[in-house]
Structure 1
Amino acid sequence: MNHSRRDLLGLAAGTAALAVLPAAAQQPPIRIGSTLALTGPLSQTAMVHKLVGDIYVEQLNARGGLLGRKVEWIVKDDQSKPDLARTLYEQLVTSDKVDLLMGPYATGAILSAMGVAQRHGKVLVHHTFGIPSMAKYERQFPAWSLGPKPQETVPNTLFDALAASPKPPKTIAIVTSKFPSIHYMSLGGREVAKKRGLQEVLFLEWEFGNRDFGPIAARVKDAKPDLVWMGDIGLEGNMLLDAMKKIDYTPPLHFHLYPAPGPMSKAADGNNALAVTIFEEHPPFTSNPTAANFVKAFNERATQAKLPETSVEVQAAASYSAWQILEAGVRGANSLEDKAIADWLNKNKVDTIQGTLRFDGPGNYGDDLMKIKQVQDGKWVVVWPKAAAAPGASLKVN
């Protein structure tokens, strides 16, 4: 076939143009698959994780991606159902053939995803797994830095903070969801409270998904505790506080395990609420330049998305840390091979916005980095330990 000089020049120019394209543009993207509870009772908090993942992948691609390739994040809605999460992760691995996995939100879904990852030998980095003793798979890596025995260390951190307050509690009511990680932590808190001399005046449980908190509120009011331990997740704590308000009761102190951060901080009844955290939007956390840049990006995007909480707190920080772990593992191993990534993470520490994490303890958990925060003037601030507290902040009691 004969070609004109113009055709040949055009072909040569096109070939030259392809030669100068960035390597990332010439290769297929690295595909990372996950699910999130985009609908259902956990959706309020899962939307935070969705926004964080979007931000991280955009930042990662702006830095050139991973291993010279762009990154694509595939997210499926598990509807807050662990069984559906299991099915969807199986699809991600077998049908979608993703290169890497990122964990979902909440312990039940993470445990389901972990089983799939184990069957296929995949690395699973995850954000919020609350029962370390159940993390038996050697290639799972937690960003939720509560150590290998949070049922002991987390309650002790809370009671240390309260013991240092002007009016330490002497009696406690423990009311808790039966959601697996919540129930596990609440039972641990119950035992630690007894060992520390707090008198238990009430213990109640509810099924996850419960919406009628009136009877529980009435029982708490009658018990007259100094401290109410609420084993809540998502909006459960808000609903319980609202039920208390309807019977003209405000607990002197109330601690929440995993509340929906925005709704709790913005509710009038949420004032002085206590919870655990690994990061809040104030010094010393924001002294980290990476953290400061993320805070700025999240503030802007959360405002645009009209999220009820536009500041970076524990959920957003755990999610961002999980992405940092995955990126560090791939870069450290210089590979997408799951065994190589897992081996590197087991042998190396990873710097994240919440601190330095290690994965060489039981269940790949390292140190308990949990801190105690409180809602003050509509914002979450760390109040314990003092070294991590917001400037000028200290624990307040109603």
Structure 2
Amino acid sequence: MTLDRRSFVTAASALGASALFSPYANAQATGAPIKVGGTLSLTGPLASPSLIHKITGELYVDSLNKRGGLLGRPVEWVLKDDQSKPDVARTLYEQLVTSDKVDLLIGPYGTGSILSAMGVAQRYGKTIVHHTFGIPSMAKYDQQFHAWALGPEPEKAVPNVVFDAVAASPKPPKTIAIVTSKFPSVHFVSLGAREVAKQRGLTEVLFLEWDFGNRDFGPIAGRLKDADPDLIFAGALGLEGNMLLDAMKKIDYKPKHHFYHVPAPGPMLKAPEADGALSITIFEDHPPFTNNPVAAEFVQAYRERATRAGLPDTTVETQAAASFSAWQILEAGVKGANSLDDKAIATWLRKSEVDTIQGRMRFNEKGNFGADYNRVKQIQNGKWLTVWPPAFAAPGAKLVVK
């Protein structure tokens, strides 16, 4: 299911009447706190995007408690550091369930760690909501729910929307280089991009992979310069995109169209060589997204908190929006079921739709995935701007080729 601009704005306006930050502030929450357990990669290679999710979660819990908590009780987020390691995440989720005895679970950052957490949730019959899982076919557990609207087949949806965007540019590409981390979700989509590129008549001039955690991108940059593709499709995660850009800069190579799947948004935005870079998005800090009053209020609160935390980019984009949506889904599930019973929450979510700041979410296709709200953004003059599809583009924005 896709959402056109008119439907999105209508749903967003309706959402503002009943959801986060308004209008039930200062309601009284009493009794023992409801514990929500989770981990994030507060250290290790995924620490940069995880900080975005930490700030978002803290804001949401603060607001939730001002609105009366859940079921009239205050909410406490029990957060642990999984060090960017799926095996550590597995151990910590075991602790959260068995030792900390949390009432609810929210997922960690990244497909590998989420898969580990999902296995623990399944073992104990716990419902888990997560925000950054990228391979729906691996989500076998029926009590897990996603919050990033990639659709049930992101390996097709993501490359197709990217290729649609660049095909509409003044210089549509004819050749493509696909370079990717072996991190599960970005690797999965990059392999899908190879197939979609063939179907669309793009000539592949280079395909390279690197191990997650790699920091030497010089050889990859050299191969890209030699191949000189019209489009680079980089399955880059976190700071990998910055390191690849820096390596290309050192050899005086300026790519034409260049796409980075899941960058660290702030650091990439601050790199001069990233001007013109493309990425996937579900939400950006501009209209029509901020026409939603809940989103507008979150954007302001996030900017203030991110500024205090010293983040290089203090705007809300796809990472923060996915994280925010996960908390919205968790809240809706508890309130819809009127219970902390995990099976009751899962049953309600599977048969329902939840309004989020990225659009209306449903959980009725492969892996409990549903809506496809993939959009394309580009760095232009120091800002991330949505450029495709045109209905969701920032006012006056369109894709440019550097």
The two structures have a TM-score, normalised by structure 2, of: 0.93
* Structure 2 counterpart of 1:81, from 82, 85, 110: 85
The question of whether the paired residues in 1 share the 8 Å contact of 2:180 and 2:186 is answered with yes
Q: Does 1:255 align with 2:238?
A: no
Counterpart position of 2:38: 34
Aligned-pair distance for 1:155? 0.6
Counterpart position of 2:163: 159
Q: Does 1:229 align with 2:240?
A: no
What is the alpha-carbon distance in structure 2 between the residues aligned to residue 269 and residue 231 of structure 1? 18
* Structure 2 counterpart of 1:141, from 145, 148, 163: 145
Counterpart position of 1:336: 340
What is the alpha-carbon distance in structure 1 between the residues aligned to residue 98 and residue 273 of structure 2? 47
Per-residue deviation, residues 243-282 of structure 1 (Å, max 9, x unmatched): 0110000101110000000011111011010000000000
Counterpart position of 2:384: 380
Counterpart position of 1:189: 193
What is the alpha-carbon distance in structure 2 between the residues aligned to residue 391 and residue 176 of structure 1? 32
Q: Does 1:120 align with 2:124?
A: yes
For residues 355-374 of structure 1, the aligned pairs below 5 Å read 355-374=359-378
Aligned-pair distance for 1:309? 1.3
Counterpart position of 1:180: 184
Per-residue deviation, residues 38-78 of structure 1 (Å, max 9, x unmatched): 00000000000000000000000000101010000000000
What is the alpha-carbon distance in structure 2 between the residues aligned to residue 217 and residue 360 of structure 1? 42
Q: What root-mean-square deviation, in Å, do the aligned CA atoms of Structure 1 and Structure 2 show?
A: 0.8
What is the alpha-carbon distance in structure 1 between the residues aligned to residue 56 and residue 303 of structure 2? 11
Per-residue deviation, residues 182-214 of structure 1 (Å, max 9, x unmatched): 110000001100110001010000000000000
The question of whether the paired residues in 1 share the 8 Å contact of 2:28 and 2:68 is answered with no
* Structure 2 counterpart of 1:349, from 332, 348, 353: 353
For residues 233-312 of structure 1, the aligned pairs below 5 Å read 233-312=237-316
Percent of aligned positions with the same letter in both sequences? 70
Give the 3-state SS of the residue equivalent to 1:233 in structure 2. strand
- Structure 2 unaligned blocks of 5 or more: 1-26
User: What code does the residue aligned with 2:53 have?
Assistant: H
Equivalent pairs, count: 376
The question of whether the paired residues in 1 share the 8 Å contact of 2:68 and 2:74 is answered with yes
What is the alpha-carbon distance in structure 2 between the residues aligned to residue 258 and residue 325 of structure 1? 22
Q: Does 1:105 align with 2:115?
A: no
Q: After the TM superposition, which parts of structure 1 deviate over 2 Å for at least 4 consecutive aligned residues?
A: 22-25
Aligned-pair distance for 1:24? 2.8
Counterpart position of 2:20: none
What is the alpha-carbon distance in structure 1 between the residues aligned to residue 106 and residue 236 of structure 2? 25
The two structures have a TM-score, normalised by structure 1, of: 0.94
Counterpart position of 2:22: none
Per-residue deviation, residues 335-362 of structure 1 (Å, max 9, x unmatched): 0000100010011100000000001111
Counterpart position of 2:397: 393
Counterpart position of 1:59: 63
Per-residue deviation, residues 141-170 of structure 1 (Å, max 9, x unmatched): 000111111101111111111111111000
What is the alpha-carbon distance in structure 2 between the residues aligned to residue 370 and residue 322 of structure 1? 17
What is the alpha-carbon distance in structure 2 between the residues aligned to residue 154 and residue 220 of structure 1? 22
Counterpart position of 1:12: none
User: What code does the residue aligned with 1:280 have?
Assistant: E
The question of whether the paired residues in 1 share the 8 Å contact of 2:353 and 2:361 is answered with yes
* Structure 2 counterpart of 1:313, from 291, 310, 317: 317
Give the 3-state SS of the residue equivalent to 2:83 in structure 1. coil
Q: Does 1:150 align with 2:154?
A: yes
What is the alpha-carbon distance in structure 2 between the residues aligned to residue 268 and residue 203 of structure 1? 26
What is the alpha-carbon distance in structure 2 between the residues aligned to residue 24 and residue 356 of structure 1? 28
The question of whether the paired residues in 1 share the 8 Å contact of 2:82 and 2:92 is answered with yes
Give the 3-state SS of the residue equivalent to 2:254 in structure 1. coil
User: What code does the residue aligned with 2:324 have?
Assistant: Y
